[in-house]
Chain A
Amino acid sequence: MAETKSRSKRLMTMGGLIFLAIGIILYFVKEPMGLNRKIYDLPVFLIIIGACSALKGYMAKEKTEEEAALAGKTFSEFLTNNAILLAMLVLVVVICILQPRFMQIRVALDILTQSSTKLIMALGICFTLLIAGTDLSAGRMVGLSAVVSASMMQTATYANRFFPDLPQVAVWMPIVIAILACMVFGALNGFLVAKYDMHPFIATLAVQVIIYGACSLYFDMPPNNSQPIGGIRPDFAQLGQMRLFNGVYRGFPGISILIPIAVVICIVIWFILNKTVFGKNVYAIGGNREAAVVAGINVFRNIMGIFILASCLYGVAGVLEAARTAGATNNYGNGYELDAIAACVVGGVSLNGGIGKVGGIIMGVLIFTIIQYGLQFINVSPMWQQVIKGVIIAVAVAIDLTKYRRK
């Protein structure tokens, strides 16, 4: 046992170092050898991957006997548990061969940027999944928040202002208003689920329709009359478009502000889930609602909290979407909830409730974005993209359920 332990550690460290070495060599020879247009930033990726895995192998703590036993899974189990991840890696390699431009730092950063708002949504929806529920109103909340915030953030000179007489208010005000609007509907979700014991599927479906109607009414108010909202103030658009460290290094495109925002929210949600009474209660209610009641947990209050917190995150995502695209229509966010749920499931969140980690959700969102982005990258027809997306969801849920049954 001890031998395999140290062997796997050694393997990881060695493999990492080899990657690192190849990366460094390639980095210096690619220009003289004219490989620049063939491998792009591949050396940098190799260096990063190699350094990470070498470090991980080196730092890996001694495993306890139990953990070692758990880790000692069979090869086929490893394959099924990581099927989606492996499929993604294969796809990435195929894309890199078909279109070497995929191996660019800016592509990686772009994928992270696009993942950011999706991740924020997925983190919101995971709370509702953790209590074996769901939230179908999430996408429409994104739309509501985008429209509300954008409507108050137009430049004074724009021809078709939503509120022609509105002064140039401070940026935080419309943001807070938009998020509060979402939280009102989140509270409605929570109330229906907690008070009347409605299944979240039907409660949030009802609220989804209500939100879309309300948002469309707002959007249709004269003088806007359902025109797409544009003329967004640059200071607001910066929230979604600003790039940090732009050009510090030759050709470095900069890191979108969305990435650090998503990272901060990830940390906050991780903290809530793991370090607060509320987070523990979420897992408990999802794990065994009856037992949670007996343990004296106020299920009503916690479910309300779950839906309100989730809607707050959707609100943030909506504001960021509006800022990123410098505009909004009532159609924003349509269908996002399904993508977010799918990403959560791929990331190991159990639809039976009680199981799910922030790390898994990050993985799920990244896998989903990479696959989607990659398919778009090699210009796969949108119809095929849909088919592939559906297959991924089905396979992921099947794996989730077999895992569950094995226990």
Chain B
Amino acid sequence: MSEYLLEMKNITKTFPGVKALDNVNLNVRKGTVHALMGENGAGKSTLMKCLFGIYEPDGGEIYLEGQKASIHSARQAMDKGIAMVHQELHPIRFRSVMENVYLGRFPGHMGVVDHKAMYDKTKALFDELELDVDPLALAGEQSAAILQMMEIARAVDMKAKIIILDEPTSSLSDREVDHLFKIINRLRSQGVAFVYISHKMKEILEISDEITVMRDGTYVGTWPVSNEKGEKLTIDFIIKQMVGREMTNQFPAREGKPSDEVVLKVENVCSTAKKSFQNVSFELHRQEILGIGGLVGAQRTEFVEALFGLRGIASGEILLNGARYSAKSPGFAKSKGLALLTEERRATGIFGILPILENTVIANQRNYAHLGILNDSKRRVDADAECKKLNVKTPSLNTLIQNLSGGNQQKVLIARWLLTNSDILILDEPTRGIDVGAKYEIYNIMLEQIAQGKSIIMISSEMPELMGMSDRIMVMCEGRVTGFLNKGEYTQEKVMALATQFAGRKDNTAA
């Protein structure tokens, strides 16, 4: 019998162009809470998806209670006692809570569901977890916290030995977090192990027994939260492990400096959605790269989308080159010289079933048209020139964009916005999921644009990129701007501290 309930050894997973996991280890003991930490994109979710059978690892082994296990589907994972509570829950909204708990394994005989048994079992489960919810209530009417408990109840009922919690507290109130921790503690004492993914340092120090840190798809190390002497790990130590890497020369040299001219002035801009960004203020100078840092849920994407007219703005003022600007629609934003490269390349960027040509010129059709009729050769010449300039590797402009690699797709999307000749480029995670070589090319393109007098707002969750490319960093946390850092004064620790400013709970643990 192994001392570990779960051992993941040398897990490796490669996606086209990216090595997402490189020899990662994770060892979880029975009856413990094991925190899995790392920056966005460090590979935590990928690792968990490998464990849960959603991805098939390219290399490495998984052992459960000392036995080698092969998991090819979520179903198999569940059969082996692994349960996962996702960050975003998608219950069947118009069915009852109990049906959601027993979905896919309704009690009964020969296809006839025994509703009485289901009710009683759900009731018993909820009583055990001290949940005061009517099993007959509609799932869609429950709060996020209840839904999460419901998922945990489901896991408990399935006799799960390991429960993976992905950012479980991101939308919970303090009282709800207390309740969650109470349940975790009780299950832990019964021998259930948890893998706990979170960015919230203080919570982690409070609830977990051990911490494993990952960085850039690699395994950094595993530490117990308190040593034999009862000393706890410090937040600083953890942050250092998460971000502490050597800075090599992965960025092209920046020449020149931003001018003093303010091209965009944002004052106290609030979202129409209550939980989104509030009171955002900043100035963007000509030829400046303003980086926006923060964690998942910092509402950075929501803010830039609002700036581009995709989301509502309730109050505040925006001045574009000194004139009032109201973000009515993307078309309007485009006409005012804004460009937005979105975060979700597949969902909101590319037109997968259309050729590269169409993908390149789609935002700029008006300039090729006379009375709505297109000048085909001009379109082709421009698209060809732009794609060549950005070094898009493709057999021809007629190739469907979905057949290109992520990096080349991204370059096509950048080409699309460069063709519109916009003054302000908003780049949301411009290098996510693309390989190192393509990243460097994209950085070069950014600097070229700056040299031509443009300005850039760049959202990045990759710390080195944020620090390596930005002239100034604005950090956001939970929809608010928590601070600005000027070039030369930023360190990863400072950024992380600002990004987690509100993320802790009551200051009741040693920091």
Interface residues of A (CB under 8 A from B): 64-66, 271, 275-278, 280-281, 283-284, 287-288, 290-298, 354-355, 407
Contact = CB atoms under 8 A, between A and B. Distances in A.
Contact of A280 (B348, B358, B399): B358
A277 B372 contact: yes
Given A276-B374, A294-B310, A296-B333, A281 B352 contact: no
Given A291-B342, A298-B329, A354-B354, 14 more contacts: A277-B366, A278-B372, A283-B351, A287-B352, A288-B351, A291-B348, A292-B362, A293-B330, A295-B363, A296-B329, A296-B331, A296-B363, A297-B362, A354-B351
B425 to A, nearest CB: 14
B331 A297 contact: yes
27 contacts: A66-B395, A66-B399, A275-B376, A276-B374, A277-B365, A277-B374, A278-B372, A280-B365, A284-B351, A284-B354, A284-B358, A284-B362, A287-B351, A287-B352, A288-B348, A288-B351, A288-B352, A290-B348, A291-B348, A293-B330, A294-B330, A295-B363, A296-B330, A296-B335, A298-B331, A354-B354, A407-B402
A294 B345 CA distance: 11
B352 A296 contact: no
B314 interface: no
Nearest to A298: B331
B340 A294 contact: yes
B483 interface: no
A61 to B, nearest CB: 14
Which residue, of A271, A281, A294, has the highest number of chain B Cβ atoms within 10 A? A294
A210 B347 CA distance: 36
Given A280-B358, A281-B365, A284-B362, A291 B395 contact: no
Nearest to A352: B353
B328 to A, nearest CB: 11
A276 B399 CA distance: 21
B464 interface: no
Contacts of A271: 373
A276 B308 CA distance: 26
A288 B416 CA distance: 15
Contacts of B395: 64-66
B391 interface: no
Contacts of B372: 276-278
Contacts of A297: 330-331, 362
Contact of A287 (B340, B353, B368): B353
A291 B333 contact: no
Contacts of B342: 291, 294
A399 B399 CA distance: 23
Contacts of A290: 347-348
Contact of A275 (B333, B334, B374, B416): B374
Nearest to B348: A290
Q: What is the interface of chain A mostly: helix, strand, loop, or mixed? A: helix
A198 B49 CA distance: 36
A294 B365 contact: no
Contact of A295 (B330, B353, B374, B399): B330
Nearest to B375: A275
A293 B333 CA distance: 12
Contacts of A291: 342, 347-351
Nearest to A281: B365
A16 B395 CA distance: 33
Nearest to B330: A296
B491 interface: no
A322 to B, nearest CB: 31
A301 to B, nearest CB: 9
Contact of A277 (B329, B351, B369): B369
Nearest to B340: A294
A280 B353 contact: no
A65 B366 CA distance: 33
A288 B358 CA distance: 12
B454 to A, nearest CB: 18
B396 interface: yes
A66 B396 contact: yes
Which residue, of B308, B362, B369, has the highest number of chain A Cβ atoms within 10 A? B362
Which residue, of A295, A297, A407, has the highest number of chain B Cβ atoms within 10 A? A295
B410 to A, nearest CB: 13
Interface string B313-343: 0000000000000000111011100001010
B246 to A, nearest CB: 37
A65 B398 CA distance: 13
Contacts of A296: 329-331, 333-335, 363
Contacts of A65: 395
